[in-house]
Structure 1
Amino acid sequence: MTSPFHSYFIRHITIITIFILIPLGLLAQDRPKAKIDSLEQVIAQTKSEDSLSQLFTAQIELAKEMEDFAKLAEIELKLAKVSSYDGIEMQRHAQNALNYFRAQQDTTNIIDATYQLAYSKQLQNDYDSTLLFAKEVVHLAEKSQNTVSLISGRLMLSSVHNHLGQYPESLQELNKSKILAENTPDNKSVITDILNRESFIYYSLGEYDESADRISQIIEILKPEGDARRLNIWSNNLASVYSLCNCVSFDKRKAVIKESINYAKQANFTYGKAFAYKHLADTYRDASQYDSTKYYLEQIEVLLPEINKPDFTGLVSVAQGSYWSYVGNDPRAIPYFIKGYNIWKSLGKKKDQMDIAWILNDLYQKQKDYANAHKYLNTYVALKDSLFSEEKIREVKELELAYDFRQKQMTDSLKNAERLLMSEYETTLQKRSKRMILFVGVAILIVAIIIYYGFIKQKKLSQLLQVKSDQVESELHQKELLLTEIHHRVKNNFQILSSLLELQAKGVDDQATKDLISEGKSRVRSMALIHNQLYDNDSLTIQLAGYLQNLISEIQKSFEGQASEIEMDVDPNYTLDIDNMVPLGLIANELVTNAFKYATKGGNQLKLEVSLYEKDGQSVFVFKDNGPGLPSSFDVKTAKSTGIWLISRLALQLHGHYEYEYDNGAVFKIYFTQSEFVNA
C-alpha cells in the first residue's frame, strides 16, 4: 500500500516535470510554425504557379511534422487551386483536402474542396464524376444556405450539361443561378458570366436572336464602367452573331460595328479595330455593296503588319478570296484562298484547312484546271479522314492513359502512406530518446509520460492512416467507374463504325462496292460480339461455342428466308483469350458468311458442320458446308478474293495455317496453338 508521503512526492514530481516538459515541447513545435509563417510571407509575394506549388508543398511537410491537420487541409486546398490544368494533380490535392476537412467536419471547406474536385474532373473530361461532385456541392450549399457556393455549383452543372450537348438542362441551371445572383450584392461579374454562358448555348443551338439579346445585355452592364477595350470585344461578338441571325437590318448591323470601331479607337486597340473592319466588310458584302467591301478589306491590309496574328491574317485572306469570288474574279480569288490554306496548315487547323481545300477544288474545276482540282479534292478527303481518325485515337489514348495512371496512383499512394507513417514514427523515437537523456534524474516518471505521449501519437497516426485508406478506397471506386466507361466507349465506337459503314453503303450505287462495305460491316460485328462476351465476364477469356452460336445467329439474320441446318461439335467449356479470339472470330465470320452466300445458291438448304478437336498438340477448327467449294483453278497467291486472303493472313497470326479440301462440299481446317495465358 502506497504511503501518504510517497503519493505526495510522486504528485509534486509530476507537476515539476510537466512544467519542464511543456515549454520544451512548445519550443519544438514553434520552429515548424515559424517556418510556415515565413513561407506565407514569400507566398504573398509570389505569382508563378510553379513556385507557389513548391512553396505549398514545403508547407505541407511542415504541417505534417506539427500534426496540424487543420493547417494541412488548408494548404492541400490551396495547392489544388494552383495545380496544373491537366486536372490530375488538382484532383489528388483536392481529394486530400476533402478527406481532412471531413475528418474535422468543416462544412464550409468541405463544399470548397468538393467544388475543386468537380473542377478537376471536368478538366479531365470525366463528366459523369463532375456531375456527381457538382450535385454534392449544390446539396451541401443548400443545406448550409451558402448562396455563393450554390451559384458556383449550379454554374458547374450548367457547364457539364453544355459539354454533353444537354442544352435545355444547361439553360435551366443558368436560370436558377441568375435568380440567386440577382438577389445578392456585387453581382455584376456573376450576372455577366451567366449571360455569357447563355449566349454561347443559344449560339450553339442556332438561336442567334436569343444569343444576340444576351450579348446586348452584357454591353449595357459594361457601359457604365467605360472599359472601351471590353466594349469593343463584346460589340464585335454581337456583330458576329448578327451576321448569322438575319434578325436585324443592314443599318442596325452597321451601327453596332461603327460603335465597335469607336471603342477600339478610344482604347487604341488596333486588333479590335481590324476585327470591326472585317465585320463591316462582311456586312457590305452581304448587302452586295462590293466597293465598300473592298475599301474596308484594304484598310485591314494596312493594319495587318502591326497586328502580326497569323490566325487573323488567315481570316482576312479567306475574306479577300470570298470578295473576289463574289465579284466573279475566280483567278484573283484563288491566291488568297491558297494563302489562307497555307496559314491554317502552318497553325495545324485541319478543319479550316479542309474547308478551304473544298473551295479550291470547286474554283479550279470552274477554271477547268482538273489537276489542281483533283489535288485539293484528295487533300479534302485526306483531312476529313484524318480528323475522324485523330478524334477516335485521342479518345482511346485518353482512356488508356487515365486508366494506367489510376492504377499507378493507387499503388504509389499506399506506399507513400506507409513510408510517411514509418518516417514519422522514427522521428518520434529520436525525439523521445533526447528527452530521456535530459531528464535522466526522473527516468521512471519520464518513461510513464512517454508511454502516454506515444499512445496519443499512435492515435493520431491511426487517424492519418484512416484518411489515406479512405483515399485509396475512393481511387479504387474511380478505377471501377473508369473501366465501365472504357467498355461503354468501345461498344459505342463499334456501333458508330457499323452505322458509318451502313450510311456509306446507302450513298453508293455500285453493287460491288456495297458488297465490300457489307463485308466490312460483318467483320466489325464479329469483333463487337467478342467485346460483348469479354464485358460480360470478369476473366479475359471467351467461350468459343457460345461465341459461334451468337455469330451464326447474327449472320443468318442477314440472309432472311434461307433455310439452314447447323451442326456444332465444340466443347462448351473451351475458351480462348482475346489475342486468339479476334483472328479466329474473323475467320469464322468469313467462312460462315461464304457458306450462306454460295452454298444456298439455286434454292439449296445450307448444311453447315462446325467442329473442334486436338491433333499433334494443335487445335484444329473445321468448317464444312454443302456448297460447290472453290474453283479447281483457284490459287490463293493470285486470287483477288479478299476473304480467302484474309483467312490465310489470320491463320498466320494464330501461329498456324489453314487447309482446304473438297468432300461433298467445301472443308476448311484451321490449325492453331492455344494461348499460354489460357493454359496458365
Structure 2
Amino acid sequence: MTNHLTTSVIRYIAVVGILVLIPLKPFAQDKQEAKMDSLELIINQTKSEDKLIELFSAQIVLAEQMGDSPKVAEVELRLAKVSSYDGIEMQQYAKSALNYYRTAKDTSNMIEATYQMAYSKQLQNDYDSAIFFAKNVVTLGEESRDTVSIIKGRLMLSSVHNHLAQFPKSLEELNQSKVLAESTPDNKSVIMDILNRESFIYYTLGEYDKSAEKINQIIEILKPEGDARRLNIWLNNLASVYSLCNCVSFERRKEVLKESIGYAKQANFTYGEAFAYKHLSDTYRDAGELDSTRHYLEEIEVLLPEINKPDFTGLVSVAQGFYWRHNGNREKAAYYYKIAHDIWQEIGRQDEQKEMALNLSDFYSYKEDFKKAYQYLYTYVSLKDSLYNADNVKKIKELELSYDFRQKQITDSLRNQEKLLQSEYETTLQKRSKLMILLVGIGVLIIACVIYYSFIKQRKLAGLLRVKSDQVEIELKQKELLLTEIHHRVKNNFQILSSLLELQAKGVDDQATKDRISEGKSRVKSMALIHSQLYDNEGLTIHLAEYLKNLINEIQKSFEGQTSEINMDIDAEYTLDIDNMVPLGLIANELVTNSFKYGTNAGGQLRLHVSLHQEGEYNVITFKDNGPGVPSSFDVKTAKSTGIWLISRLALQLHGHYEYEYNEGAIFKIYFTQSEFVNY
C-alpha cells in the first residue's frame, strides 16, 4: 500500500513538472533516456544479486518519471527473477508486471510473469497457489502453441508435487514434459534435466533399478559429446545406485567404475578418480574379495593429499575401518574410526559421528578401557538424542516465525489503512470550499469513521481471538514435545545406568560383588518398567496387575530352565500413582526375585500366588510361594540384609508396614495406603 501511494505522489509531481516545463521536455527526456541507458550498461556488468536489485529499482523509478509503462513492467519482471529470498518480493514485482501484461495482452511476457508468480508461491510454501499459476503457464503455452513454455509449466508442477511427496503426479508431469521435449530441437539439456529429476524421485522411492535406468539414459546422451568430467560424475552416480539396488552383478559394477576411472584420468579429475576407487573398494568388499579391496583403498590413500577434502577423507576412513574390522584387526579399525569421528565432529555431520562413536565404544569395551567406552557411549547417546529432537525444534521455530510474520503483516496493514483514511480526509477538505459541502463531507466522514472503526474493532477482536487460539495451540504442541522429550531422556538415562552397571560387572571378578551389581541392575529395570508403562498409558496412573505381570515375566527370563506356576488375584482396573508405584514396584522386584531364587519345592517347580485385598484403611498385597521360607533362626524384624531392610524402608514410605509368616510356604504381606489423588 505504501509503495502504491509513493508511486502516485511521484506521478503527480511528474505531471505538474511536465505542465510547467513543457519547453524543456525534449531536453529532460533525452537526459532521462541517457541515464536509463547508463544504468543498463552497469546492470549488464553486475553479478551481485543485491546490487542488481538496487539498480533495477532505480530503473523503475526513472521509467515511472518518464511515464514509460512498458519499461516499468519489463524491469519489474527482471527484478522478480533476481528477487529470490523468501519469495515475497518476487511475488510483488511479478504480480505488478503480470497486471500490466494482461492489460496489454502481451502473451509471451504474461507467461514469464505467471511462471515467476508460481515460483514465488513455491518459495513461500503456498503450494495450492503455485499449482494454480503453473497450470496457467501450461494453458497460456498451449493457447499460443509455445512448447517451451508448456514444458516450463509442467516442470514447475512436477517440482511442486515433489515437494508435497506426490511422486506419481510428479512423474506424470515429467513424462509429459519429456514427450514434448523430444519433439523440439536442441533438447539435450532439457531431456537430461527431466531424466535427472526422474532418477532422483525413483531414488527417493527406493526404486533403484528405475533410478539407474534414467542415469544410463543420461550417460548415453553425454557420450557423443565426449565430456569426460561429466561422464565420470554420472558413472559414479550410477555405481552408487547399483550398490543399493542389487539389480546387477558385481562384474557390471566393476565395469562401470573402471570406465569411470578412465574418464577421470582423461579429464585429469583426481577427485572423481578417487571417488570411483572408493566405490570400487566397496564393490570388492561386498563381493568378498578383500585383497582387491585393500588395493583400491591404498590407491585412494595416494590421492588424498591432492584432494584435501575432509568429508571425502572421512568416508575413506570409515571404509578403512570396516575393512580392518572385517579382517579382525580391531586396533587398526579403531584408528580409522577415530579419524572419521574427529572429521565428522569438525564439519558438523552428527549422524555419521554418532555411528563412529558407537563403534569406538564397542572397541574400548572390548579392550576393557571402560572410561573411554563410557565417554564414546555418552557421545553416541547425546548425538542420538540431539538428532531425535532437531526436526521437532525446527518445526517449533517455523511456527514461531510464521506467527511473528503474520503479526507484522496485520500491524502493517492496519497502519497503511489508517494513513490512507487520513490522506483521503485531508484531500476532501482541500477540495471543498462551501460550508454546506464541508459540513456534509464531515458528516459523511464521521459516519464512515464510526463504521470503519467499528469494523476495525471487530476485526481486531477476531484477530486477537485467532492469535490467542494459535498461541494456545503452539504452547500445547511445545508442552507435548517437552513431555515426549522428558520421557525420551528418562528412558535414555535408564539405558545408560543399566549399561554402566553392565560395564562395571565385567570389570569385577568377585562373585558376591557381581551379584550385588546384578541386584542393582534388576532394581533399575523395575523402575524403568514403571516409566515405560506410564509413558504408554499417557496418564499419571499405572495398572498394578499389568505392571506385576510384566515384572514377573522380566524376572523369569533371568531364571532359564526353571518351571513355574504364577497365579494373580488382582483387579485389572486397580491403579496406583507413580509416587506409590515406585516403592511398591521395588518391593515386588525383591520378593519375586527371592521367590525364583529360593521359593521352590523339592521338585524344583515354583508356585507363586500374588493377591490384593483391603483390611480396614490399608490395602494389602500378598506374595506367597511354595518354598521352605525363611530359616527359623532368621529374624526378619531384626535382619540386616539389604533386601529385608529395603522392603522395610519402602513399606514405611508407603505409609504402611510389612508382615511375614510361614504356612506351607513363605508369605509376605505389604500394608499400604492409596494416594488420595489417584482417582482425580
TM over 0.5: yes
Q: Which moved more, 1:513-522 or 1:382-391?
A: 513-522
Query: Which has the higher mean CA deviation after the structures are superposed, 148-157 or 223-232?
Result: 148-157
CA distance in 1, matches of 2:379, 2:30: 69
Q: How does 1:500-649 map to 2 (within 5 A)?
A: 512-517=527-532, 519=534
Give the CA deviation at 1:352. Answer: 1.5
Q: Which stretch has the larger CA shift, 365-374 or 208-217?
A: 365-374
Q: Which residue of 2 aligns with 1:156?
A: 156
SS of 2:288's partner is coil
Partners of 1:524 and 1:94 in 2: CA distance: 53
- The match for 1:189 is 189
**Can you give the 5+ residue segments of structure 2 that lack an aligned partner in the other structure?**
1-17, 427-461, 496-521, 541-570, 582-610, 620-649, 652-673
CA, structure 1 residues 490+92, in 2 after alignment: closer, same or farther (shift >3 Å)? farther
The residue type paired with residue 398 of structure 1 is E
Compared with structure 1, are the counterparts of its residues 370 and 136 closer, same or farther at alpha carbon in structure 2 (3 Å cutoff)? farther
- Show the 5 A alignment for 1:461-476: none
Change (3 A) 1:165 1:286: same
Alpha-carbon RMSD across the aligned residues, in angstroms, is 5.1
Displacement of 1:161 in angstroms is 2.6
Query: What per-residue deviation string (whole Å, max 9, x for no partner) do you get for residues 152-204 of structure 1?
Result: 22222222332333322222221121112112221111110111111111112
Runs of 4 or more above 6 Å deviation: 18-21, 413-423, 483-493, 495-502, 521-525, 560-564, 601-604
Measured in 1, the distance between the counterparts of 2:475 and 2:222 equals 44
Match of 2:137 in 1: 137
2:212 maps to: 212
- Name 2:385's counterpart in structure 1: 385
**Alpha-carbon offset, residue 53 of structure 1:** 1.7
> Could you say which residue in structure 2 is the equivalent of 1:225?
225
Confirm or deny: 8 A CA contact 1:115 1:134 kept in the other structure: yes
2:109 is the counterpart of 1:94: no
Output the CA distance in 2 between the equivalents of 1:492 and 1:128: 28
Q: Contact (CA 8 Å) 2:399, 2:474: kept in 1 or not?
A: no
Give the structure 1 partner of residue 338 of structure 2.
Answer: 338
- Report if the CA contact (8 A) 2:43-2:55 is conserved: yes
CA distance in 2, matches of 1:231, 1:55: 40
- 5 Å-filtered alignment, 1:380-419, equals 380-409=380-409, 411-412=411-412
Q: Which moved more, 1:106-115 or 1:245-254?
A: 106-115
8 Å Cα contact 1:56/1:75 also seen in 2 = yes
Closer/same/farther in 2, CA of residues 383 and 250 from structure 1, 3 Å limit = same
Map 1:137-536 to 2 at 5 A. 137-409=137-409, 411-412=411-412, 512-517=527-532, 519=534
Partner AA of 1:171 in structure 2: L
- Residue 86 of structure 1 deviates from its aligned partner by 4.1
Whether the 8 Å CA contact 2:396–2:478 is kept in 1: the answer is no
Describe the shift of the 1:318–1:493 C-alpha distance in structure 2 as closer, same or farther (beyond 3 A). Answer: farther
Q: CA deviation at 1:271?
A: 0.9
Q: Quote the offset at 1:411 in angstroms.
A: 5.0
Identical counterparts, % of pairs: 59
Alpha-carbon separation, structure 2, partners of 1:263 and 1:489: 57
Match of 1:184, SS state, is coil
Measured at CA, do residues 627 and 52 of structure 1 come closer, stay the same or move farther in structure 2, by a change above 3 Å?
Answer: farther
Question: Structure 1, unaligned stretches of length 5 or more?
Answer: 1-17, 427-475, 526-559, 565-588, 594-600, 605-625, 629-638, 641-663, 671-680
What SS does the corresponding residue of 1:247 show, helix, strand or coil? coil
Structure 2 CA distance for partners of 1:208 and 1:30, relative to 1, 3 Å: same
Shift of 1:233: 0.6
- Residue type matched to 1:257 in 2? L
**Structure 2: which amino acid aligns with 1:137?**
V
Partner SS, residue 325 of structure 1? helix
Partner amino acid, structure 1, of 2:59? Q
Q: Helix, strand or coil for the counterpart of 1:371?
A: helix
Matches of 2:303 and 2:392, distance apart in 1: 40
> What code does the residue aligned with 1:356 have?
M
In structure 2, what is the Cα distance between the partners aligned to 1:124 and 1:421? 31
Q: Distance in 1 between matches of 2:95 and 2:131?
A: 16
CA distance in 1, matches of 2:65, 2:421: 11
Q: Is the 8 A contact 1:498 1:524 kept in 2?
A: no
Evaluate the alpha carbon distance shift between residue 20 and residue 380 of structure 1 in structure 2; reply closer, same or farther with a 3 A threshold. Answer: closer
Q: Give 2:432's aligned residue.
A: none
Looking at structure 1, the residues matched to 96 and 159 of structure 2 have their Cα atoms a distance apart, in angstroms, of: 25
What is the TM-score normalised by the length of structure 2?
0.61
**Count of matched residue pairs:** 491
| 1:596-632 CA distance string (max 9 Å, x none) | xxxxx9899xxxxxxxxxxxxxxxxxxxxx999xxxx
Post-superposition shift, 1:408?
Answer: 2.7
Alpha-carbon offset, residue 386 of structure 1: 0.9
1:58 positional shift: 1.2
Q: Which has the larger radius of gyration?
A: 2
**Secondary structure of the structure 2 residue equivalent to 1:178:** helix
Q: Which residue of 2 aligns with 1:610?
A: none
Read off the aligned partner of 1:173 and give its amino acid letter. E
| Equivalent residue letter for 1:33 | E
